[in-house]
Amino acid sequence: MNPQAKLVFIFSLLLGTTTTITSNHWIMAWAGLEINTLSILPLISQSHHPRAIEAATKYFLTQATASTLILFSSMTNAWYTGQWDITQMTHPTSCLILTSAIAMKLGMVPFHFWFPEVLQGSPLTTGLLLSTLMKFPPITLLFMTYHSLNPTLLTCMAIMSTALGGWMGLNQTQVRKILAFSSISHLGWMTIILCFNPKLTLLNFYLYALMTSAVFLTLNTTKVLKLSTLITTWTKTPSLNAMLLLALLSLAGLPPLTGFLPKWLIIQELTKQDMAPAAT
């Protein structure tokens, strides 16, 4: 790809992300999400391989549907309440549609089917952007509207995402698919605590982005795409592979590594919420 064109697309990505996370009006937030979607599509399909084109098409259709639902929910809310402010989402039906739309944007269960396929068809550097930067605007929208989202729906999707993300990643041999299911699982941890302590959601996302960036950049340096290739790279770059192992264990949440901290704090916070039904 032409370097100037790539620079324009990356600049547009940053512009779209900034527009969404700094806006108070739903139309501006929606516009930022659309800029983001249209900017990442050429980066996904830059190899011109049929798999890459398929990934770009799946990504476009899913994100366009989710953006439409976000716009529809905000319009419904404005119709009933006269408010376009992001923090003033009060109509129950609008909140329900918004919860589903943002879950689709992020790739949470049961709207997760597109994410492993798209990540598998993308280059590793684009996969890094899809796993970190592209998830930041929807998580910011969740953070700004957490008080009005449907907590039951959010908790159910979070538990399913955490469980399925772990289970479906077990029988994979492609590294990008394993990282995609890891992302789905982490999203479950982020959203389950959202209604109780939103700051923990952001802490979890920042640490997840940091660890995922380390893994993706290491894999890109060693040119690893499969687990079988990962086994043989130990002889070429032993020190880098040792760091990759630590980053993967941290991403898995193994104590005493960094990835264990947000999970520990989330479990600690959840135990204080008294969510179990009262005994009769």
**Separation CA 206–CA 181 (nearest Å):** 18
pLDDT tens for each residue of 188-229: 999 999 988 999 999 999 999 999 999 999 999 999 989 888
**Separation CA 262–CA 251 (nearest Å):** 11
Q: What is the pLDDT averaged over residues 61-88?
A: 94
8 Å CB contact between 197 and 269: yes
pLDDT at 246: 93
Mean pLDDT over each residue of the chain, to the nearest integer? 92
Domain that holds residue 251: 3-278
Q: What count of Cα atoms within 13 Å lies in the side-chain half-sphere of residue 274?
A: 2
* 159 vs 151: which has the higher pLDDT: 159
**Structure tokens, 25:** 């009006």
Is the N-terminal amide bond of 110 cis, ω within 30° of 0?
Answer: yes
Q: What is the pLDDT averaged over residues 165-172?
A: 90
pLDDT tens for each residue of 42-69: 999 988 889 999 999 999 999 999 999 9
Q: What is the CA radius of gyration of the chain?
A: 19
8 Å CB contact between 149 and 195: yes
Q: What is the pLDDT averaged over residues 222-238?
A: 86
**Separation CA 212–CA 208 (nearest Å):** 6
Q: E strands within 103-229?
A: none
Q: What is the pLDDT averaged over residues 158-165?
A: 94
pLDDT at 152: 87
pLDDT at 280: 55
pLDDT at 248: 92
* pLDDT above 90: percentage of residues in the chain: 76
pLDDT at 274: 77
8 Å CB contact between 263 and 253: yes
pLDDT tens for each residue of 270-279: 998 877 665 5
**Separation CA 211–CA 262 (nearest Å):** 12
Q: What is the pLDDT averaged over residues 6-34?
A: 94
Please state the domain count of the chain.
1
Q: What is the pLDDT averaged over residues 227-248?
A: 88
